[in-house]
Amino acid sequence: MVSPVPGVTLSARGAARARSGHPWIFRVDVRSAAPGLPSGAEVRLADARGNFIARAFWAERSPIAVRILSRRDEPLDDAFLRERIERSVQRRRALFARADAYRAVHGEADLLPGYFADVYGDVVAVQHLAEWAEARREALARMVAEVCGARAVVARDDGSSRDFEVLPRRTAVLLGQAPVVATYHEGELELTVDLLEDHKTGGYLDQRENHLRAGELSRGEALDAFCYHGGFALQLARRSHHVLAIDQDASAVARTRENAKRNSLGNVDVRAANAVEQLRALDKEGRRFDVIVLDPPAFAKRREGVEGALRVYKEINYRAVRLLAPGGLLVTCSCSGKVTPQIFGEVIEWAAQEAKRPLQILERRGASRDHPPLLGVPETDYLKCWFLLAP
């Protein structure tokens, strides 16, 4: 006999939020729950009158008590989860038929909130940012490996988002063997990544299409501040005469040099230095660049960090505008979700005014199409990448 699914009753506000389509229900909006629910337990959500709302997973410790997976009254079993993964991967393969690197599962946007999977060649890097996914990590690893045809699955659960969920930071090889170094392509360039040691899940796949677009528009002298593994710098180098790439992380600089050599790009000068200080120094020297890319880390991961982040965003954009040659291209980015597009636009407008240089908006871009935002869930629409011209 199958045991009934435990029930969770939501407050009026929680019920309205769930019905609006948002997959997160905070603990303050839980009116009552079955006693002793374990971490990751499947639950059935209802309003105060007992009307069914959704099937979801329960979190013991996270401020987000419930994550919704289905508005239908259906079991959230392994068959359900595998089908969700399969459908997500099929969508990516339809978008990028020849790609060997892409985000296979994008959490909330693919209706698997808190679970992320990135494909790099024949390896998958995953993140579990919710208790339900953490509780099922081995089963999910087997599913995603089978669906993607991967030889190994690596868990990159070492980011600050795990702190919010009250989950320990760690990395692990869930399937296959270490070390796990993968080779993949962005356009015609071949790149390598260490999936256990490098940032995030290894690379910044959310910027892949922006890397390629910047490369199409590149020319002359180019500058890539915060270059990481050279995603922008190497694409710029295919059309520019010379590229100066800067990053404070010594291992990232080494990887950029390795990737430049791998692709026979001898016109990339990689410098291990603080990018903000270097922008100031280049401005003082009176340097000018035809293309400048600013792709800094997330300066504001929490609301309380926004004010400090804006000071840095203003500084680097002001310096970049001053460093642009006449007719130059500025590609400026922010991956801070707390910095909205409106706030980001205000930062750029301030920088242009302070530098006394007009800027034309060429393109407002976001994350690559394999990182789609989910309508009604603003937290998923985090990346801003603006292309601007200095006439």
Q: How far apart are CA 198 and CA 46, in angstroms?
A: 43
| Interval 133-145 mean pLDDT | 98
Check pLDDT > 60 for residue 133: yes
Check pLDDT > 80 for residue 126: yes
Q: How far apart are CA 131 and CA 358, in angstroms?
A: 48
| Interval 114-139 mean pLDDT | 97
Q: pLDDT band at 1, cuts 50/70/90?
A: very low
| Interval 24-29 mean pLDDT | 98
Check pLDDT > 90 for residue 46: yes
Query: How is residue 3 written in tokens?
Result: 């045991």
Query: How is residue 289 written in tokens?
Result: 């660049």
Instruction: Please tell me the predicted confidence (pLDDT) of residue 4.
Output: 86
Instruction: Please tell me the predicted confidence (pLDDT) of residue 3.
Output: 59
Q: pLDDT band at 2, cuts 50/70/90?
A: very low
What is the four-CA torsion angle of 216, 217, 219, 221, rounded to 10 degrees? -110
Residues carrying an active site annotation:
335
Q: pLDDT band at 10, cuts 50/70/90?
A: very high
Q: How far apart are CA 7 and CA 56, in angstroms?
A: 10
Q: What is the pTM of this model?
A: 0.93
Phi first, then psi, for residue 83 (nearest 5°) are -65, -40
Residue-wise pLDDT tens digits, 319-339: 999 999 999 999 999 998 888
Check pLDDT > 90 for residue 177: no
- Radius of gyration (C-alpha) of the chain in whole angstroms: 22
Q: pLDDT band at 205, cuts 50/70/90?
A: very high
Instruction: Please tell me the predicted confidence (pLDDT) of residue 248.
Output: 93
**Residue 284 in contact with residue 319, Cβ under 8 Å?**
no
Q: pLDDT band at 262, cuts 50/70/90?
A: very high
